[in-house]
Amino acid sequence: MNAELITIGDEILIGQIVDSNSAWMAQVLNDVGINVSQISSISDSSDHIIEALELSSKRSDIILITGGLGPTKDDITKATLCSYFNTELKMNNEMLEHVKCLFDSLGSELLEVNRKQAEVPANCDALINQKGTAPGLWFENKSKIYVALPGVPYEMKALMKEQVIPRLQKQFKLPHIVHKTILTQGVGESFLAEMISNWEASLDKEAIKLAYLPSAGTVRLRLSTSGHEKDELVKRVERKAKELSELIHPHIYGEQTDTLQGVVGKLLAKYKKTLSTAESCTGGYIAHLLTTVAGSSAYYIGSVIAYSNTIKERELQIDPGIIESAGTVSEEVVEAMAQSIRLRYGTDYAIACSGIAGPGGGTEEKPVGSVWICISSDKCVKTKLFKFGTHRGRTIRMTALTALNMLRNLIIDESHCPSD
Amino acid sequence: MNAELITIGDEILIGQIVDSNSAWMAQVLNDVGINVSQISSISDSSDHIIEALELSSKRSDIILITGGLGPTKDDITKATLCSYFNTELKMNNEMLEHVKCLFDSLGSELLEVNRKQAEVPANCDALINQKGTAPGLWFENKSKIYVALPGVPYEMKALMKEQVIPRLQKQFKLPHIVHKTILTQGVGESFLAEMISNWEASLDKEAIKLAYLPSAGTVRLRLSTSGHEKDELVKRVERKAKELSELIHPHIYGEQTDTLQGVVGKLLAKYKKTLSTAESCTGGYIAHLLTTVAGSSAYYIGSVIAYSNTIKERELQIDPGIIESAGTVSEEVVEAMAQSIRLRYGTDYAIACSGIAGPGGGTEEKPVGSVWICISSDKCVKTKLFKFGTHRGRTIRMTALTALNMLRNLIIDESHCPSD
The residue extents of the domains of chain A are 2-171, 176-255, 260-416
Nearest to A23 among B18, B181, B210 (CB): B18
Cβ partners under 8 Å of residue B137, min gap 6: B69, B78, B81, B120, B121, B124, B125, B126, B127, B146, B147, B148
Give the model confidence (pLDDT) of A332-372 as tens digits.
Answer: 999 999 999 999 999 999 999 999 999 999 999 999 999 99
Q: Given pLDDT bands bounded at 50, 70 and 90, which one contains residue B420?
A: very low
d(CA A308, CA A280): 8
Q: Given pLDDT bands bounded at 50, 70 and 90, which one contains residue B417?
A: low
Alpha helices in B74-171 (DSSP H): 77-85, 93-106, 112-116, 153-159, 165-171
B19/A18 touch (CB, cutoff 8 Å), yes or no:
yes
Query: In terms of Cα–Cα distance, which of B413, B388, B414 is closest to B402?
Result: B388
Give the model confidence (pLDDT) of A19-57 as tens digits.
Answer: 999 999 999 999 898 999 999 999 989 999 999 999 999
Mean pLDDT of all residues in B401-418:
91
Beta bridge partners of A3: A36, A62
Cβ contacts of A282 on chain B, cutoff 8 Å = 288, 291
**CB neighbours of residue A88 within 10 Å:** 12
d(CA B191, CA A16): 23
Long-range contacts, A248-251 (Cβ 8 Å, 24+)? A248/A182, A248/A184, A248/A187, A248/A192, A248/A195, A248/A196, A250/A409, A251/A184, A251/A185, A251/A186, A251/A187, A251/A192
Question: What is each CA distance from A302 to A309, A338, B37, B98, B310, in whole angstroms?
Answer: 19, 13, 50, 57, 10
Q: Given pLDDT bands bounded at 50, 70 and 90, which one contains residue B21?
A: very high
Look at residue B419 in the predicted model and tell me its pLDDT.
45
Look at residue B31 in the predicted model and tell me its pLDDT.
84
Q: Given pLDDT bands bounded at 50, 70 and 90, which one contains residue B149?
A: very high
Q: What is the ipTM of this complex?
A: 0.81
> Residue B418 pLDDT more than 60?
no
Nearest chain A residue to B180 by CA: give it.
A16
Query: Is A326 in contact with A367 (CB distance < 8 Å)?
Result: no
Query: In terms of Cα–Cα distance, which of B230, B253, B252, B232 is closest to B243?
Result: B252
Amino acid at A235: K
> Residue A419 pLDDT more than 50?
no
Question: What is each CA distance from B136 to B53, B84, B314, in whole angstroms?
Answer: 17, 17, 64
Rounded mean pLDDT of chain A?
Answer: 93
Mean pLDDT of all residues in A386-392:
90
User: To 10 degrees, what angle do helices A77-84 and A46-59 make?
Assistant: 60
Mutate: best of B32, B41, B60, B183, partner A, most A CBs <10 A: B41
User: May I ask the CATH class of domain A260-416?
Assistant: alpha beta
A308/B297 touch (CB, cutoff 8 Å), yes or no:
yes
Query: Is A210 in contact with A221 (CB distance < 8 Å)?
Result: yes
**Which tops the pLDDT comparison, B106 or A367?**
A367
3-state helix, strand, coil in chain B (%, to 5): 45, 25, 30
> Residue A418 pLDDT more than 60?
no
d(CA A29, CA B13): 10
> Residue B343 pLDDT more than 50?
yes
Pick one of 2.60.40.420, 2.130.10.10, 1.20.210.10, 3.40.980.10 as the CATH number of B2-171: 3.40.980.10
| Rg of chain A (C-alpha set) | 26
Nearest chain A residue to B356 by CA: give it.
A294
Give residue B219's Cα distance to chain centre: 13
Mean pLDDT of all residues in B25-54:
94
Farthest-apart Cα atoms in chain B, separation? 85
Look at residue B51 in the predicted model and tell me its pLDDT.
96
Give the model confidence (pLDDT) of A194-252 as tens digits.
Answer: 899 999 999 999 999 888 877 778 998 989 998 889 899 999 999 999 999 999 998 99
- Report the percent of chain B where pLDDT is more than 70: 98
Q: Are strands A176-185 and A144-149 parallel, antiparallel or unpaired?
A: unpaired
A72/B212 touch (CB, cutoff 8 Å), yes or no:
yes
Q: Given pLDDT bands bounded at 50, 70 and 90, which one contains residue B74?
A: low
> Residue B5 pLDDT more than 70?
yes
B19/A39 touch (CB, cutoff 8 Å), yes or no:
yes
Look at residue A420 in the predicted model and tell me its pLDDT.
40
- Report the percent of chain A where pLDDT is more than 70: 99
Beta bridge partners of B383: B374
d(CA B81, CA A174): 35
CATH T-level assignment (fold) for domain A176-255: Alpha-Beta Plaits (3.30.70)
